[in-house]
Amino acid sequence: MRKLTILFLTILIFSGMFYSCQTAETIQQDAYYVNGRDLYINHCQNCHGTKGEGLGELIPPLTDSVFMKTNKQKLACYIKNGVSEKLTVHGKVYEGKMEPLNLATIDLAQVIVYITNGFGHQQGMYTTEQVTTDLGNCK
């Protein structure tokens, strides 16, 4: 019994050490995530919903992991320039328009970190440099 307790405590201490030794990048990612959530609440939640569930066939949900992964490079363009092309999300076609939203580069990075790590996704960090690159490739 005593051995078991010691083992348990050791594991606890090691895992504690592991978690406290977060890299600078994860800390930055967390900060982006938190700020991104505020941006999401202010600019996106009205249509896309608190859980990213969308609305009927009018507004696409943000919960399709495959879509979010394959279109990650386009997300900045979608948000900044709006969307008027048809999008297929969860196998359903959405043809409504999304209005352009003129956000600063840092805000785009933060809100994209939020929507690609919230709603059941785990895509990690997305930097302002990536935003600039992706915006340069907008159609």
Partner 1 sequence: MNNPLHFFSALLLGTVLLTASCKEERKLPIYGVRDTKEVAKADGFTVDTIYQTIPDFKFLNQDSVMITNDQFKDKIYVADFFFTSCTSICPIMHKNMKTLFQDFKSNPDVMFLSHTIDFKYDKPSVLKKYAQKLDVYDPKWQFVYGPKDSIYTIAEKSYLVAVQVDSNDREGYVHQGFLVLIDKDRRIRGAYDGTNPEQVEQLRKDIPVLLDEYKK
**What part of residues 28-47 is at the interface with partner 1 (CB under 8 A)?**
46-47
Q: Which residues contact 137 (CB under 8 A, 6 or more apart)?
A: 73, 77
Q: Which residues contact 93 (CB under 8 A, 6 or more apart)?
A: 86, 87
The answer to whether 69 and 77 are in contact (CB under 8 A) is: no
Pick from 75, 98, 103, 108 the residue near partner 1 by CB under 8 A. Answer: 98
94 secondary structure, DSSP code: E
Q: Tell whether residue 57 is a contact of partner 1 (CB under 8 A).
A: yes
Smallest gap from Cβ 44 to partner 1, in A, equals 10
Smallest gap from Cβ 33 to partner 1, in A, equals 23
Q: Tell whether residue 55 is a contact of partner 1 (CB under 8 A).
A: yes
* Interaction site with partner 1 (CB under 8 A): 46-47, 49, 55-59, 96-99
